Each structure stands twice: as C-alpha cells, then as structure tokens.
Amino acid sequence: MTHLVRGRQELAAARKVLPGSVGLVPTMGALHKGHLANIRQAKARCESVVVSIFVNPMQFERADDLERYPRRLADDLAVCEAEGVDVVWAPGVPDVYPNGPAQVWVTAGELADQLEGPNRPGHFDGVLTVVSKLFARVAPDRAFFGEKDYQQLTLVRRLVADLDTDVEIIGVPTVREADGLALSSRNVFLSTEERRQALVLITALRTGRDAAGNASAVLEAAGTVLAAAEGVDVHYLELRDPQLGRAPASGPARLLVAASVGATRLIDNLAVELTG
C-alpha cells in the first residue's frame, strides 16, 4: 500500500523503514504515462520507490504559469497505488521552505542561460535548488528524470557531479502519444486545433534526424518544417552534443526545439547521428 506523507518528520519516519535501495521519482504531479515510465524504471531498479509531488514556486518565473499548473493529488495517489509506489511525498510549500524562500541557492551556471534559459530566467536555479533539497530529505540511491526535459536532466547530472552528491541519475526515454507528441502535463491546455499544430515539433525533429547529414543539413531539414508551420511560435531549434556543448562535426548529437502553440510553451528533443 502506498503511504502518503506531507511533513518532513512524517517523511523521515517513512524513509527510515524503507527496505533496500531507494529510488526517487521527482514530479510536479498531474501524473501521465511519461511519469509512469519513470516510476516503472525506478521499480525495476530499486527495492523501494518514493515519488515526490511538489509544484515548486521557485522554478516558475511567471505567476500565471504557477497558478494554472494542473494539480490532481487524488488521481496521482491512485496511479502511484496501482504502480506499487511505496511512499508519495506531497509536501506543502512550508514543508520544503520552512524558513521562507531559500536564501542560499544552487546556481546552474552558464548552461542555464542557453536553450530554455532566456525564456525562463532563474528557472534552473530553482530546479537544482529544490532537487538538492529533495535529495537531502529522501536520501535516494538513484533518481529518475525524463529525457523530455533534456536540459534539466543534463543539469541534474552536473549537479551531482559538481557537488559530489551520492545519487545515481537515471535518464528515462521520452514517452510519446501514438502520433509522436511528447507527453507533458501542459498538453491539457491545448485546444483540438493546437494539439494538431503541436505535432510540428516532433515532425521537425524526426525530419532533421532522418536527414542524416552534417549539422547544417540536419538544422536546415528541421528548420524548413518549422518555418512552414501555422500557429506555432518557434523559440529555438538547436543542435548540441549529448552533454549540450557545441555540436560535434560527426557522431551522436541532440536536436532540441521549443515553441509556443497558442498560450502553451512546449519543448521536445531527439537523439541524432551526424555524419560529417
């Protein structure tokens, strides 16, 4: 049976009696099949699984985005129960920030100023700060993050490497709808027409990947698809190496895109193989 805990002491008591290796799946709730893939990986690789559900105010740079973020704790609990999750930790803001907003933050460094950065100033500092706090409270052996948020996953890997945090980070491949749209909690905001328009993100990424050429061939193929799209405001299309440094001349790379469809900002990315 899944144990729902709220406060720090309740969590500490539940954590103390968890047997074996502990996997943490950090989420902001409104669980969908993408989260399920993370939970199932955790179940497969750890004896005990903790899912955290916390909409972290410190990583939202727009009050309206924070306010309208979907919250569905009763449904989320039922999902965790069905998946055999041991503990759901759903703290309130004062449980995570008992002294008010954190004064000391983790700063994400120069990668946080790129890709998602310019659109979301301060976002990754907020993410890495809360992830550090979740790690400190739960003390997991492993933590699971989706490749859908590829920049976040990359920065969390840097967090544990740079700050000597003893948590193994596992990246989980992006779960998609049958037509290719990456599952995201924010998809619920798309109208039927926007849902159709949103497919251009994955179409562009796949077209770039299938161009199977050098960096400019991949970017041109993907860019042509985006340029022809209606109702979609493209924020960036970028090709990087798998750690999000400069794209290599050949070999493994990552193609990343962000775009607004109506009022909803979506991101996606795909592995590509460059041939020089």
Interface ranges with ligand ATP (CB under 6 A): 27-28, 34-35, 37-38, 145-146, 148-149, 172, 174-175, 182-186
Asked whether residue 29 is marked as a ligand-binding residue, the answer is: yes
Kindly list the residues in this chain that would bind ligand PAF in the complex (CB under 6 A): 26-28, 56, 59, 127, 130-131, 149, 152
Interface with ligand BAL, residue 59, by CB under 6 A: yes
Contacts of 16 (CB under 8 A, 6+ apart): none
Q: What is the distance of C-alpha 161 from the center of its chain?
A: 19
CA pseudo-torsion sign 156, 158, 162, 164: positive
Asked whether residue 265 is marked as a ligand-binding residue, the answer is: no
Does the annotation count 123 as an active-site position?
no
Asked whether residue 134 is marked as a ligand-binding residue, the answer is: no
* Residue 188 beta carbon to ligand ATP: minimum distance, rounded to whole angstroms: 9
The one of ligand PAF, ligand ATP, ligand BAL, none whose footprint includes residue 131, by CB under 5 to 8 A per kind, is ligand PAF
Interface with ligand BAL, residue 149, by CB under 6 A: yes
Return the percent helix, strand and coil in the chain, to nearest 5. Answer: 45, 20, 35
Do 137 and 16 touch, CB atoms closer than 8 A? no
Closer to ligand BAL at the Cβ: 41 or 48?
41
The alpha-helical segments, DSSP class H, found in the chain are 8-16, 33-45, 63-68, 73-83, 93-96, 123-138, 150-162, 192-197, 200-211, 215-227
- The residues binding ligand BAL (CB under 6 A) are 59, 149, 152
Catalytic residues: 35
